[in-house]
Amino acid sequence: MHKYQTQKTNILKNLLFMFSFLLSASAVFAQTEFTVRGFVYNADNGEAAGFVKVIAKQIDENSSDKLLGATTDIDGYFQFSSLKRGSYAIEVRSTEHQRIYDTIQIGDKNITTLRYELTKSDEVKEMEEVAIFGQDQSKRNNVEMSVNKLDQEGLERLPSFGAENDIIAAFSVTPGVVSTGDQGGQLYVRGGTPIQNKITLDGMTIYNPFHSIGFFSVFETELIKSADIYTGGFSSEYGGRISSVMDITYRDGDLNKHGGLVSVSPFLGKAVLEGPVFKNKDAKGSGGSYIFSAKHSLLDYTSESVYPFVNEGQGMPYTFTDIYGKFTIKSPEGSKFSAFGFSNNDAVRYDNIANLNWKSYGGGINFTLVPSSNPVIIKGHLNASNYDIFFQEESGSKPRTSGITGFDVGFDFLYFLKNQSQITYGFNIGGFATSFTTFNEVNREINLDNYNTELSGYINYRLVKGRWVFNPGFRVQAYPSIPAVIPEPRLGIKVNATENLRFKMSGGYYSQNFTSVASDKDIVTLFYGFVAAPTDVQSTFTKANGEETEPDNGLQTSWHGIIGTEYDFTKNFSLNVEGYYKYYPKLSNINVNKLYDDTQEFSDIADIYKKDFLIESGVAYGVDVLLEYSKKRLFLWGVYSLGKSERWDGFDYYTPSFDRRHNINLVATYAFLKDKSLEVSLRWNFGSGLPFTPTSGYYQGEDFVEGVTTDYTTSNPSELSLLLGDMNAARLPTYHRFDITIKKKFAFKNKTVMELKGGVTNIYDRDNIFYVNRVTNDKIYQLPFLPSIGLSYDF
């Protein structure tokens, strides 16, 4: 105990030292002589304009400085550092707005802050080359390994499900992502399990982002400002997960006028309301605003009459409700404060087969500080949330439950250098309590309740030097409750070989304090619990090469190694190819072999038969290919992923249940009519069969109701037990589905817009497995041929 206390003290000392270093670093970085920074806003609603091109050029008579270019970030922020004294011409370019021209004089003060408002004009023609130029600059100045970046416009052009757009469409067509279709929206990213994906909303971790009907997530598409999906090799800014990161940002409410949107379809109804709380007439883009959204599923009301051919006329027993609200204050200097809250509820019940429900709620604050005398941008967040899930098969099995309550507070510091180089650094403190109960194949109860804390600090440096981009980073993850301190080095490199050809690589070490608790009893998994990394694991673990190790805890770790290339055939047509290898030195998994309680009376029994969790290792490798074409009216997206995952449990290799070897996603969108008001989107998805453990037979299991004195020769147990085959030795049938969506917009003179949406899911009525009850062998299929129509009104 004394050793653990000493380790905890050392952890806190190291983190305090790192925090002091990071704060003092901001003072060092602030010594740049002259800096020009600014914010770009949309004049119609006061929202920050992200990814806008800003150009600066010194115009003094004797100046020979080259043209300087920057792209605004998601907060509309741009910065030029290490500038010389003198006069500069500024130009702000956007594809859908009037260009802005300005002249400034710098030299009187170290930092000059600018504000610009973009105004739409009917006379502005599409400047597609400007958009392409901005995208090219981003590609050249950032490593952008294994990342798919989407804004709301990008989400809207993907096929919608049930006449409603949802971000799950973007997740499921991302290279390297395996989706289980309508079954819970679970995503497996390059050999990782769903619990190894970190999904955040404005800095808050969302523990379950998808509803039980996999068409819909808990996110509201109308509110999404950006969605960055990292499938591997992500930088040191992100931690706490070993597979992937999905970073989602919501926009703020309209600062100028009250408005909103209402929408209805057979699947759900929703409403969005937003507007100003107070205005600042002297500085547009500042003031207070609110935004509120709510949606509720309607399938449990409509499916029996609208879709009588589904589920033998019994309807589709899905129901969910999502509520979100946010209040924001923006200052004229660019600082911002937001407070938000959310509630998500989900349930699905198939009579005599399965019952699943979960609920989640929470809230938090976010802020951005822009000091007037310091070029360092400070961002922070504080949030807390709760998540509970319940699952029971109706064949008399015992229920499985899981719950997690957590908080998180963090600060990030951003400093821009010359030539779009930058340094980001920060720290994070979090804590969570988990409660989990399940039963393995022999009905042995596995129950865990614990509380954990996490502390982390990181520094990330991006250096743009000629044709090269270097992105080294370092992160420290500390787990005082275990205790353990894990250093996590990261590195990304890109070389711009030509104007059209780029090579890149990235890699790093990752850790997480969560353990997957999916059960291999299920042919298709519906239940995912949340458990902190267990400390009570087996005393020895035998590697595949025969070497024995002594694991102290169940922290999961991974190494990522990724190489890739980007090639632009034209300004509108590009190819991205990435090969990846993920090595998981340590994974913790639920012990399906547990036969005994871990008590003194069974002290002579091997750990593998009495511990709740066991240590494993594994690998995942493959190749992802993406072809993308986008020009005016036409958008094409083609993805092929080839992957293989393998696990070592200390005795044998086995294939995990998410090992899909081949995955194809084809998307096409075309806008018709002169005003592009009619849009048609198509999507076809193919996936080879997923592994599962087959059932070899059944037998009457002895429950030993009289303890060790039970006479098994005369007893007549009523409980049916399963005899399982080899682990994941069989595969489900291939999954494939073809969907179509048609949208028609009607714009009115009062600037409101009505949109009529229609679509068909699973056009050729493919039977794709949703769930199989292993005891009764009852099967539930994913959604069949399913037409839908919806109507929305944007005011």
Question: Domain 32-141 carries which CATH code?
Answer: 2.60.40.10
pLDDT at 719: 62
Question: What pLDDT digit, counting tens, does each position of 259-296 carry?
Answer: 999 999 888 899 999 999 998 877 777 899 999 999 99
Report the Cα 332 to chain-centroid distance in Å: 32
The helix or strand, by DSSP H or E, that contains position 271, with its residue range, turns out to be: strand 268-279
CA dihedral for 147, 151, 152, 154, sign (positive or negative): negative
User: 751: Cβ–Cβ under 8 A, 6 or more apart, which residues?
Assistant: none
Give me the pLDDT at residue 642, please. Answer: 97
Strand partners, 557: 511, 586
Rg (C-alpha) for the chain, rounded Å, is: 27
- Say if residues 755 and 791 touch (Cβ distance below 8 Å): yes
Q: What pLDDT does residue 293 have?
A: 97
Q: What is the pLDDT of residue 249?
A: 92
Contact 621, 644 (CB under 8 A): yes
Instruction: Give φ, ψ of 195 to 5 degrees.
Output: -75, -10
The sign of the dihedral angle between the CA atoms of 7, 10, 16, 22 is: negative
Averaged pLDDT score across all residues of the chain: 83
The alpha carbon of residue 633 and the mean position of all alpha carbons in its chain are separated, in whole angstroms, by 29
Q: Give the global pTM.
A: 0.84
At 354, give phi and psi (nearest 5°). -155, 150
> What is the residue whose two structure tokens read 């007893």?
715
Q: What is the CATH number of domain 147-693+728-794?
A: 2.40.170.20
Q: What is the pLDDT of residues 426-437, one digit of tens each?
A: 999 999 998 888
Torsional sign, CA 76, 81, 85, 89: negative
Number of residues written out for the chain: 795
pLDDT of residue 359: 92
Which sequence spans correspond to the domains of the chain?
Answer: 32-141, 147-693+728-794, 694-723
pLDDT at 353: 60
pLDDT digits (tens, 9 = 90+) for 680-728: 999 999 999 888 888 877 766 665 555 555 665 666 665 666 777 787 8
User: Would you say 93 and 116 are in contact if contact means Cβ atoms under 8 Å apart?
Assistant: no
Alpha carbon distance 467, 419 (integer Å): 12
pLDDT given at position 95: 73
Instruction: Give me the phi and psi of 397, to 5 degrees please.
Output: -70, 160
Q: b vs e for 586-602, b when ≥16 Cβ sit within 10 Å of the residue's Cβ?
A: bbbbbbbbbeeeeeeee
Give residue 212's pLDDT: 73
Q: Which residues of the chain carry a pLDDT beneath 50?
A: 1-5, 7-8, 19, 22-23, 25-32, 123-135, 520-521
